[in-house]
Each structure stands twice: as C-alpha cells, then as structure tokens.
Chain A
Amino acid sequence: MNGRRGPAFWLLAAFFALFVLFLYGPTLTILVLSFQGPQGGLTFPMNGVSLHWFGNLFEKQMVGDFAGSLQRSMVLGLAAMLVTVFASFSAGLAFRSRFHGSAFIFYLAIASLIVPSILISLGIGLLFRVLGWDTAWYSSAFGAHLTWTLPFGLLIMFAVFNRFDRRYEEAARDLGATSWQTIRFVVIPILLPSLIGVGLFGFTLSYDEFARSLYTAGTFNTLPLEIYGMTTNVTTPVLYALGTVTTGVSFAVIALALVSFAWVRRRRLRHGSDAGKAA
C-alpha cells in the first residue's frame, strides 16, 4: 500500500469508475432525451432538440396535476424538515442522560427504519379507516413521513453528540449561563452544520417518499405518487422532462445546503474571536 500504486489499485479504480458510470449513465440518458423534439420518441435517436416536453409538463390537462403535487411535496418536505430537526435535536439532548425507557425508544426508532414502508403506510391507512377519518397529505402522510425521517435524524444526532465536547457546556455553565442560554448560544451554534445536514436529509427523504404516502396521502397526490401514476399511463418524453425537473429540484436543494454551510463557516470566521461578547 506504500510507495507506488500496484495493479490492485488500478483494477479497483477501474471497478469504481465502472460503478460510477453505472450510477450516472441512465440518468444522463434521460436528461438528454428530455430535450427530444416534438416528434421524438422514448428512445434514441434524437428527433431534433426542443423544450416541447417541458411545456407539456406544466399543462394541467395533459398529465394530471404536476404543479399542484410539486407544491404539496415541497410544503410537506419543509414541514418534515422543521419537525425532524427540532425533534431529533431535542431527543438527542435527552439521550445524553440515561432515563427509564430510553432503550425502548431507541428500539422504536430502529423498528421505524426496518419495518417496510408499505406496512406503515397500510397501518396508518387502516387506522384512519377504522376511526372513520379521512387521510390527507398534511395529516396522515405527514406522520408517515416523520416515521421515516426521524430515525435518521436521531441516529445522526447520536453520532454528532458522541463527538461533542461537553466541556464547552461546562464552561458556559461556570460562566453563569442558564441551561437554555447554554443550548441557545453554545450548543446550537456549534452544531449548526449538523443540524442543517439533518434538515437537508429530512427534506429529501420526505420529498422522495413514495411507499409511505401510498395509503396515507388521501385525495391529493404528492409528487412521487403523481410521477408513479404518470409512468403507468404516459408514454411520451414528458416522463423524461419530469425526471429532469425533479432532479433539478433535488440539486437546487443540495446547492442551497452547501451555500448555507459556506455561510455558517464564513460567519464563524468573522465572529470567531468574540466569545462572550454576543448576547
């Protein structure tokens, strides 16, 4: 492993490159095909280049309610993000001390991860039916999504708190900070990048969630349900335009997160030496 790279390295590097090609190839194909001309079909060759299918996507009558479902998924994703950050951070704080039932709640979180999504969807759908309530994307589907985002949030917070130096908190307490002040002005600022990470994770997990929405979304579709519906009855490159647009949204979210990371870092550099002055 030291010195010159042997044949093993190049073999493994080639394998890695092949895997990356395998990961990206299909997606790049539909990215290109979504700019297919109006007469073009689902496969190559390209029949001209146009934005025809993107226009088609936003015409309501053509392909269902794409714009509405996009909006619903965005709102749902943002709500799931906020609750996930808040609840995971708060639970992460709690889990630092051993309390009765902590093991039980931890196992619930693990169970929430490993129980197949479709069973949770089915269970919530059945529950609402038995109770005579209507399922809706903002109630039952919201809860279903949280059972998926929260375990991830909690596990990330565990990892984060395991690496957190408690001496910062002790120092704050020694200087007379209340426990709320310690959290607000010491713990949260230090953990901010991780909290943004949890939020980002929560948003994308919810935004892409299909199985858990299936029996819980009620009358109005979320975006993945809408996409799934379209795949079964649309046979034009509109599908690919849809893929390109949703992928674009995902990338915009990642870009936004990276910008926030950079912003936090810049802020830290600027405010690095004013310990004690703030607030």
Chain B
Amino acid sequence: MKRANTWAAYLQVSPLALVFLLFLVVPIATIIVVSFFDYNTTQIIPAFLLQNYEELVLSPVTWQTYGQTIRFAIITWALTLGIGFTLAYFLAFHVRSATWQTVLFLVCTIPFWTSNVIRMISWIPFLGRNGLANMTLIQLGLIREPLEFLLFSDFAVVLTYVHLYTLFMVVPIFNSMIRIDRSLLEAARDAGATGWQTLWTVIVPLCKPGIAIGSIFIVTIVMGDFVTVRMMSGGQSASVSLMMMNAMSLLQYPAAAANAVVLLLLVLLTVAAMMRLVDIRKEL
C-alpha cells in the first residue's frame, strides 16, 4: 500500500515536473552552456570561452546598467513596502467586517487583471506635456510651463512600478497581519505600549514573513523588467534586460547569455538572502 502510494504520487506530480524540466531546467542550462560559446556576425560556435564574461565585466556600460537596475529595485522596494504596509494595515486592523475587507480587496485586485502594457499606456494622457497633470497644475497657477520630467523619465518608471506592483506587497503582508492573534495587541496595550510601540514591536516583527515574500516579488520583477523601462523612460534609462535584448537583436546570443547568467545569479543571491527570513511553505 505504502509503495503503491509513492508510485501514485510520482505519477500525479509528473506532468508538473515534466513542464519544469523541459521549459525551465533545460532552457536555463542552455543559457549557461551558450554563455561560453563563441560567435561571429552570422552564427554561434560551440566552444568554451570566458571571453563573453570578460567583455561584460570590463565594460563600464555593464556596471552603469546594473547600478541603475539595482537603484530602481531599491527605490521601488522602499516605496511599495511603505505604501503596501500602510494599505494592508488599514485593511487588516481598521476595516472591521470580513465582507468589507473582501470588497476593498477586490477593488485593489481588479486592475491587476488588465494588461500591464495597457496600464502603462494609460499614464500618457495623464503625464504628457499637455496631459491632465500639467493642465491642472497650470490652471491652478502653480506652474507656468508644463513639467517635462513627468513622462519619459526615471520618475515615470518608478511611478509605473508602484502603480503596477504594489499589490504584490499588499497581499502577503495582509496575509501575515490577519493571522496575528488580536489578544497580543490587547496584551501590548495592557502592558502600557502606545500605538506606535505596538506597531513597531509587535505587528512589524510578526509581519516579517509577509514582508519578505512581498519583497521577493517586487525585487525579482523590477530586476528582470524591460517593458516599463523602455516604455516609460523614453529611451533615457537602461535596464539589464534591455541590454540583454540589444545583444539578442544584434544576434550576439552568447553575449546575451553571459549577461543572463550574471543577472540570474544576482537575483538568486538576493532571493536566497531574503528567504532566510521566511519558510514559504509554512505561509500557505
């Protein structure tokens, strides 16, 4: 019976395992192998060279681009954490009925179901030279000339990240908060803690797993992003993925692959550091 169960489990898990093997493990292995290949203008040549990595590491552009991507990741992380935590706190501790919690939650989730590219486009009539933001500010007499930095700038990129991805922070943090035993808060109050003290010494530590999961989502999304940077920076900023795509469009596949391996390592190390804070399987 025991053995039959094990076989059944293997059979049941096999479709999932097969997909991951064929479309995750093998492709990543391919990237690693190709990153050592040689290439010329027309084809890639099997070889074992470190040249692709050398060129990558020695180019100042690489360092600038990685620096910019990491900067975007950190700024976005800080903003989404602040905003996401506040929203989750409101939903978990100030909205009292479960029905209202669900309704407000749905309100936050609905935009998530529309295409990201469309949601980016929708900032254009808002932020453009003649957009709503500039028009309003001019009519209010706050500015004379339209602000140029609103659209196609780093500001627009970060704004779009926050717009698109804050939800990824809200959900796990809310999930942590909702499990906090309310009697702990009462105990804190009885012991004489002020509201802030309760927040910092009771709620925030108990939310760590949620914060970690949300942070993993945000950081990995921003580090791998290219659509937002390309559409919202108007070509003024770069990201690691964009750099990789440029190499791809020049048919320099091994160079792109080497860059991909470095990016992958960076992402995995970041996530590994965050995972030390949390056991994901316990959180479900």
Contacts and interface: CB of A to CB of B under 8 A. Distances in A.
A147 interface: yes
A194 interface: no
B111 A27 contact: yes
B227 interface: yes
Given A87-B16, A150-B16, A126 B27 contact: yes
B83 interface: yes
Contacts of B163: 22-23, 26
Contacts of A113: 220
A12 B122 contact: no
Nearest to B257: A126
Interface in A40-54: 42-44
B12 interface: yes
Contact of A147 (B20, B126, B128, B245): B20
Nearest to A32: B125
A137 interface: no
Contact of A158 (B22, B83, B130, B281): B281
Contacts of A242: 118
Q: Chain B binding site: helix, strand, loop or mixed by DSSP?
A: helix
A26 B20 contact: no
A223 B34 CA distance: 30
Interface stretch (B48-56, B60-68, B87-95, B137-145): B87-95
A119 B241 CA distance: 8
A146 B23 contact: yes
A94 B117 contact: no
Nearest to B110: A254
A33 B118 CA distance: 13
Nearest to B245: A118
Contact of A44 (B87, B123, B135): B135
Nearest to A144: B23
B264 A119 contact: yes
Given A116-B225, A123-B30, A130-B30, 17 more contacts: A1-B185, A8-B195, A13-B90, A26-B123, A43-B125, A105-B20, A116-B220, A116-B267, A120-B23, A124-B27, A126-B30, A150-B19, A154-B16, A210-B116, A223-B115, A228-B117, A243-B118
Interface of A: 1, 5, 8-9, 12-13, 15-16, 19-20, 22-27, 29-30, 33, 42-44, 83, 86-88, 90-91, 93-95, 97, 99-100, 102, 105-106, 108-120, 122-124, 126-127, 129-130, 143-144, 146-147, 150, 154-155, 158-159, 162, 179, 204, 208, 210-211, 215, 223-224, 227-228, 231, 239-240, 242-243, 246-247, 250-251, 253-254
Interface of B: 5-6, 8-13, 15-17, 19-20, 22-28, 30-31, 34, 83, 86-87, 89-91, 93-94, 104, 107-108, 110-111, 113-126, 128, 130-132, 135, 163, 166, 185, 195, 216, 220-221, 223-227, 231, 241, 244-245, 248, 253, 256-257, 260, 263-264, 267-268, 271, 280-281, 284
